[in-house]
Chain A
Amino acid sequence: MGQAITVTINGAKQTKDVEPTQLLVELLRDTLGLTGTHVGCDTSQCGACTVLVDGRATKSCTILAVQTDGAEVVTVEGLAKNGELHPVQRAFASEHALQCGFCTPGLLITAVDFLARNPTPTDSEIRHAIEGNLCRCTGYHNIVNAVRSAAEMMTTTAQPKVAAGVKR
């Protein structure tokens, strides 16, 4: 017996019929084809399936789709705007913060939520912020570099352009 839910996904409001047993990640991947969100462990541990639910980084394997009725969900597919990558995505590319890439969508989402709350983090704060996202390739070092670099990019562009034209 399905239940109708209305959920905004990457900015588009949609009404879908879901089974109560269906997990959010199953709705995203199997019903909507948003396969950028990965299932690593399906046991709430690895964080590969992390998406934003009402702005908070959430393991989409550990929330039912019906629980997102009325919510706003952002997946990795929703980070780029008008064909331009999100600063966190650009930083992951330039800092080589991935090898196999499986954990990357979840880490990007976690970093977006974290930097929204803490725009000028220390390295220690970054390391604690990504505790819920496992990466088996990188050893995390370049991920920390990327989050720091994204923070710098985002605070610089957020500032008023009073210094425009000044050589640095």
Chain B
Amino acid sequence: MITHPFTYRAPSTIEEAVAALGRSRDAKVIAGGHSLLPLMKLGLAQPDALVDLRRIASLRDIRAEADGTIVVGALATHRSIAEDRTIVSKLAALAEAAAAVGDPLVRARGTIGGSLAHADPAADEPAPVLAFDALIRAIGSKGKRDIRAGEYFKAAFETALAPDEIVAEIRFPAQTGRTGSAYVKFAHPASRFAVVGVAATVTLKGDGTVERAAIGVTGAADAPFRAAQAEKAITGTKGDAKAIAAAAAKAAEGITTLSDLVASSDYRRHLVTVYARRALERATQRAQG
């Protein structure tokens, strides 16, 4: 039951939605509603207006652009992302993260744009968004801008979005050469949120050495992050088991890991290294084809 009253509108363009956001003191955007409505029931969010994006059909699209960029509309559901052939073949870590969200019913309604705007520190999709170095395209009263994933996540439930900005799409740069990716997670047994989730992308040179790697970690800290030390350590190696283990051991370096009833800070730190290793192993195998 939701007790706090609000007005509701479902405009048919994103410009109208931005304008509607500006007209209320404490308006919220709603898409799948699977983060927002539970918060509203608890009284933790009490918006005076809801702006529903559901009539803006173009935000649902998943498409590849001419230069190979894969564009995922903010309203793409976890289910549609997990089942999309282009994403499964080109952005495996994203497909795996989307398939790992909640349960099938949650995945049928919940959206990637909603997940990124809500910015739960244990959400799955931020990890591949970071590892693919994606751009978050936001539209607000001052027009559109692209925010790099690395600059987007600020803290738990805090992003670089301005109050009148709406996530329109997530732009994944073309994956070139011999690139593989993977997402693996240690799920909370009841909620299925990530206690720790790690996405890795690995690109190999012709001789099989690691040209570049990117690792996005969710669930472990106040905000999802790139495991920069581990990325540096794996680059230039042969990507063999020993090199991967050595690099993964550095995945939590410089990070203050969360401590709660589910996992202590030390345990989470350990999980980050274990899951970074598994993600790197799988991504490297896939890059090797």
Contacts and interface: CB of A to CB of B under 8 A. Distances in A.
Contacts of A56: 108-109
Given A20-B8, A62-B34, A43 B106 contact: no
Nearest to B42: A43
A50 B52 CA distance: 21
B2 A23 contact: yes
Contact of B34 (A1, A44, A57, A128): A44
Interface stretch (B84-92, B97-105, B130-138, B209-217): B97-105
A69 B52 CA distance: 12
Contacts of A59: 105-106, 109
Interface residues of A, number: 30
B1 A20 contact: no
A42 interface: yes
A29 to B, nearest CB: 12
Given A44-B34, A62-B33, A132-B102, A20 B5 contact: yes
A132 B6 contact: no
Contacts of B192: 131
A42 B6 CA distance: 19
A128 B104 contact: yes
A113 to B, nearest CB: 8
Contacts of A133: 105
Nearest to A20: B8
Contacts of B4: 21
A98 to B, nearest CB: 19
Given A23-B2, A57-B104, 18 more contacts: A1-B7, A20-B6, A20-B8, A21-B3, A21-B4, A21-B5, A21-B6, A44-B37, A56-B109, A58-B105, A58-B108, A58-B109, A59-B106, A62-B109, A64-B8, A66-B52, A131-B192, A132-B104
Nearest first, the 5 A-B pairs at minimum CB distance are A132-B103, A132-B105, A20-B8, A131-B103, A21-B2
Interface of B: 1-8, 10, 30, 33-34, 37-38, 41, 50, 52, 54, 102-106, 108-109, 191-192
